[in-house]
């Protein structure tokens, strides 16, 4: 395979690329010059903006969208001997945090249309040990909150929403984060808005927020000039002011960014709808243009018709100057989870999607011509490698 050589006429098209404006870059320089580069006034300002966005709910920011979920579970009292229901189709962090608090993840298969956890299967997975449900809004498509929270209320369960991918998404006309129980956002560089690395946890009360602050920084509670107490075992999860300043530049642009993503998603649907392309047999996402933030555009390859594997399709796209991704391999089939008893065939719907799902480039500075290049190249590769 010849390596792709990017040129001015045909640059390499990555899977994603953050958009950071010059005003934000200058603001970061100001923070660096100030000498206060760890958690400080910019962190406080970012939390205030996020709280305003989430309808006044308490919000605290952290150095990842992973620790936010772990801290939510700890605040909820989830620990050894408990179970948390979640999906096998997510980034492995979703279930890792359940193990981190000493609990056991209980996977529930997906709805093959939405690719989110099948809410109709949740109740059958509840046992006396169940303490929480952790749904994931895959690619920014919101899980149906109404039946989810009805089940949680009926069984007295907490909900930790893994909304890592759904900042800017709405459900039933309401912003994700403005409703619900715990809501965890990620601001990783591949997300719709970024703090370079970072995340936020939306909570219900100031008591929960104070506890989150303790978990964020070694469990420490300070009083006066020299008073210090440590009541719980915390970690080192605070966000820097440098990262927070990036976030402050990003938040006002969420509607702009998501609007552009929506335009590109529409373009993808139009391109895949062309008769010769459609006939190849793709699995496309739900065409939701009212709620979804279009964090990702994912297609399911026609695996049964192909003479090559997904990795070879990705390699050929890379050779043509197009980046792609896999989001995600089935969690329960990783070695650490196989050792806990899961195996092939446990969640056939998720496994089928995970074997052949492919994430295509999608970010605000892309153009329709870029999307055409992606679809044309992908269709050409697939057409050339079909079973006779």
Q: How many CB atoms lie within 10 A of CB 264?
A: 23
13-39 per-position pLDDT tens digit: 999 999 999 999 999 999 999 999 999
CA dist list (Å): 361 to 73, 313, 316, 364, 374: 33, 14, 15, 10, 8
What is the full per-residue pLDDT of the chain (388 aa) written as tens digits?
Answer: 556 777 767 899 999 999 999 999 999 999 999 999 999 999 999 999 999 999 999 999 999 999 999 999 999 999 999 999 999 999 999 999 999 999 999 999 999 999 999 999 999 999 999 999 999 999 999 999 999 999 999 999 999 999 999 999 999 999 999 999 999 999 999 999 999 999 999 999 999 999 999 999 999 999 999 999 999 999 999 999 999 999 999 999 999 999 999 999 999 999 999 999 999 999 999 999 999 999 999 999 999 999 999 999 999 999 999 999 999 999 999 999 999 999 999 999 999 999 999 999 999 999 999 999 999 999 999 999 999 8
How far apart CA 179 and CA 322 sit, in angstroms, is: 38
Domain 22-253 belongs to what topology?
Answer: 3.40.640
Q: What is the CA radius of gyration of the chain?
A: 22
Question: Containing H/E element for 221?
Answer: strand 220-223
How far apart CA 304 and CA 182 sit, in angstroms, is: 40
Query: What is the sign of the dihedral through the CA atoms of 69, 71, 77 and 81?
Result: positive
CATH class entry, domain 254-383: alpha beta
CA dist list (Å): 271 to 52, 114, 238, 275, 375: 38, 21, 43, 9, 7
DSSP string, 106-144: EE-PBPTTT-SB-GGGTGGG--TTEEEEE-B-GGGPPP-
| Set 191, 236, 309, 343: catalytic member | 191
Q: Where are the alpha helices (DSSP H) in 54-205?
A: 67-75, 93-100, 145-154
Let me know: does 245 contact 42? Beta carbons within 8 Å: yes
Structural domain spans, the chain: 22-253, 254-383
How far apart CA 59 and CA 75 sit, in angstroms, is: 14
Question: Containing H/E element for 377?
Answer: helix 368-383
Q: What is the DSSP letter of 385?
A: T
pTM of the model: 0.96
Let me know: does 289 contact 262? Beta carbons within 8 Å: yes
273-291 per-position pLDDT tens digit: 999 999 999 999 999 999 9
Please enumerate in sequence order all residues whose Cβ is within 8 A of that of 17, keeping only pairs 6 or more positions apart, or say none.
363, 365
Known active-site residue 44? no
> Taking the C-alpha atoms of 187, 191, 193 and 197 in order, what is their torsion angle to the nearest 10 degrees?
30
264's tokens? 């590109």
Angle made by CA atoms 319, 362, 135, in degrees to the nearest 5 = 120
> Taking the C-alpha atoms of 41, 19, 162 and 109 in order, what is their torsion angle to the nearest 10 degrees?
-170
How far apart CA 244 and CA 246 sit, in angstroms, is: 5
Q: What is the DSSP letter of 314?
A: H
How far apart CA 317 and CA 315 sit, in angstroms, is: 5
């Amino acid at each position: 395979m010849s390596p792709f050589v990017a040129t001015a006429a045909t640059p390499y098209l990555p899977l994603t690329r953050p958009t950071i404006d010059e005003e934000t870059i200058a603001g970061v320089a100001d923070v660096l010059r100030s000498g206060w580069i760890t958690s400080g006034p910019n962190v406080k300002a970012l939390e205030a903006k996020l709280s305003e966005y989430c309808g006044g709910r308490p919000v605290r920011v952290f150095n990842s969208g992973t620790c936010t979920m772990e801290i939510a579970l700890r605040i909820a009292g989830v620990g050894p001997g408990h179970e948390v229901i979640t999906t096998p189709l997510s980034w492995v962090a979703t279930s890792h945090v359940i193990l981190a608090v000493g609990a056991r993840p209980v996977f529930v298969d997906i709805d093959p249309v939405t690719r989110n956890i099948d809410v109709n299967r949740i109740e059958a997975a509840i046992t006396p040990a169940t303490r929480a449900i952790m749904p994931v809004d895959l690619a920014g498509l919101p899980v149906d909150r109404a039946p989810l929270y009805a089940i949680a209320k009926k069984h007295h369960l907490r909900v930790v929403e893994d909304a890592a991918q759904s900042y800017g998404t709405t459900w039933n006309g309401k912003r994700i984060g403005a409703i619900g129980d715990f809501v965890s956002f990620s601001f990783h560089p591949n997300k719709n808005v970024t703090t370079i690395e970072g995340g936020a946890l939306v909570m219900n009360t100031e008591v929960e927020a104070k506890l989150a602050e303790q978990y964020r920084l070694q469990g420490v509670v300070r009083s006066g000039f020299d008073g210090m107490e440590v009541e719980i075992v915390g970690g080192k999860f605070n966000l820097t002011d440098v990262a927070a300043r990036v976030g402050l530049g990003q938040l006002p642009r969420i509607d702009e960014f998501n609007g552009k993503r929506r335009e590109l998603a529409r373009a993808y649907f139009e391109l895949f709808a062309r008769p010769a392309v459609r006939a190849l047999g793709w699995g496309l996402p739900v065409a939701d243009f009212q709620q979804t933030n279009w964090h990702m555009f994912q297609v399911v390859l026609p695996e049964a018709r192909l003479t090559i594997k997904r990795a070879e399709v990705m390699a050929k796209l890379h050779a043509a100057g197009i980046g792609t991704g896999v989001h995600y391999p089935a969690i329960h089939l990783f070695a650490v989870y196989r050792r806990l008893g899961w195996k092939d065939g446990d969640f056939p719907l998720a496994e089928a999607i995970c074997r052949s799902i492919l994430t295509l480039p999608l970010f605000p500075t892309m153009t329709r011509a870029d999307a055409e290049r992606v679809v044309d190249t992908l269709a050409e590769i697939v057409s050339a490698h079909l079973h006779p």
